[in-house]
Amino acid sequence: MDLAVRLTPAASMDGFDGPVTDAAGVTRLKARVRAVAENNKANRAIENLIAKRLKIGKSAVSVISGEKSRSKIIRIAGDPDDLVTGLKGLSD
């Protein structure tokens, strides 16, 4: 399953702020991490945050597009039904 994310690095805290529609009309999950956007630290942080919240292994989550952009596509491996249920609770 692929997840579109709008990431804010160097935030005051890690978390999810719910869905947001960008200028191109794409709906993305708005997320923030404390890690800075250098040496892929923010990418690793969002991968770890998603894995932790979905209670899956870190290796099951990877940034596949947008490594140097705030708009990212993140691939999540696992049972689609379980992932959908877990993703619904991310912005709570």
* pLDDT tens digits along 20-35: 998 889 899 999 999 9
CB atoms within 10 A of CB 74: 22
Burial class (CB in 10 A: 0-12, 13-18, 19+), 92: exposed
Is the pLDDT at 92 greater than 80? The verdict is no
Average pLDDT (58-63) is 96
- Position 43 scores a pLDDT of 97
CA of 63: how far to CAs of 1, 7, 92, in Å? Answer: 12, 11, 23
Confidence band of 10 (pLDDT split at 50, 70, 90) = very high
Q: What percent of the chain has a predicted confidence (pLDDT) above 70?
A: 97
Look over the chain and give the mean of its residue pLDDT values, rounded to a whole number: 91
The topology under which CATH files domain 2-88 is: Conserved Hypothetical Protein Mth637; Chain: A; (3.30.1200)
Q: Are strands 27-32 and 71-76 parallel, antiparallel or unpaired?
A: unpaired
Rounded to two decimals, the pTM is: 0.89
What does the pLDDT read at residue 44? Answer: 97
> b or e along 33-56 (b: 16 or more beta carbons within 10 Å of the residue's beta carbon)?
bebebeeeebbbbbbebbbebbeb
